[in-house]
Structure 1
């Protein structure tokens, strides 16, 4: 799967994410915008970053998750997802590794916002506890 819009850009990370969402102009942009808003509501102290020539990144004491857009999915990859509790089984991709876990959202799919917010809070707590040790 090829990512759309990997061109080099300038601006703050938030501006670059805004531009990416606008550039998509379809369900993927809407989905990325909705997930971004949920992340920011859940953790008002989250820091937005733009890395690897076109990947939205949300951090707090370390990377929480990334947001990538492909032709058929919006992929939210949690940097330490394998260490997070996922009782609602939101993780549906990248399940074989020992570190990351991802959520692939396809057109028309909805996410359990409470369960997603719990993953965000847990990822932040894990990052903060790792930083202290």
Structure 2
């Protein structure tokens, strides 16, 4: 991918996920010819979120996002999906770190039921 803005945004999101829940497990899944690097997934007592890189954005998709409180209105993609919700982050978008950490913590709490 080269050293571009997407790498640094992915690093930022990854560090926020780990700050939110240090026990979360990161795995790479769904490798295919069109995406040889696969998709980083973050799990703890079930899938929490995935982190995909596109040409113009990175996308954090929460597996059960429709069930999560989002008072800061971070979700801006997949809003019509039945279960999941996503956050598209472009190069210049500000990400509310505290709100994102709270979202990850809520997702883990939901997995733990």
Q: For residue 20 of structure 2, what is the aligned residue in structure 1?
A: 42
Per-residue deviation at 1:24?
Answer: 3.7
User: Is residue 2:9 matched to residue 1:25?
Assistant: no
CA distance in 1, matches of 2:85, 2:64: 7
User: Is residue 2:86 matched to residue 1:108?
Assistant: no
Q: For residue 107 of structure 2, what is the aligned residue in structure 1?
A: 123
Q: In structure 2, which of residues 64, 69, 88 is the aligned counterpart of residue 80 of structure 1? A: 64
TM-score by length of 2: 0.92
Deviations 1:84-121 (A, max 9, x none): 01011000000111100000000111110110011000
In our comparison, the structure showing a higher alpha carbon Rg is 1
The alignment yields a C-alpha RMSD, in angstroms, of 0.7
CA distance in 2, matches of 1:79, 1:104: 15
Q: 3-state DSSP class of the match of 1:88?
A: coil
Unaligned runs of 5+ in 2: 32-37
CA distance in 1, matches of 2:8, 2:91: 10
CA distance in 1, matches of 2:20, 2:66: 20
- The count of corresponding residues between Structure 1 and Structure 2 is 107
Per-residue deviation at 1:83?
Answer: 0.3
Q: For residue 34 of structure 2, what is the aligned residue in structure 1?
A: none
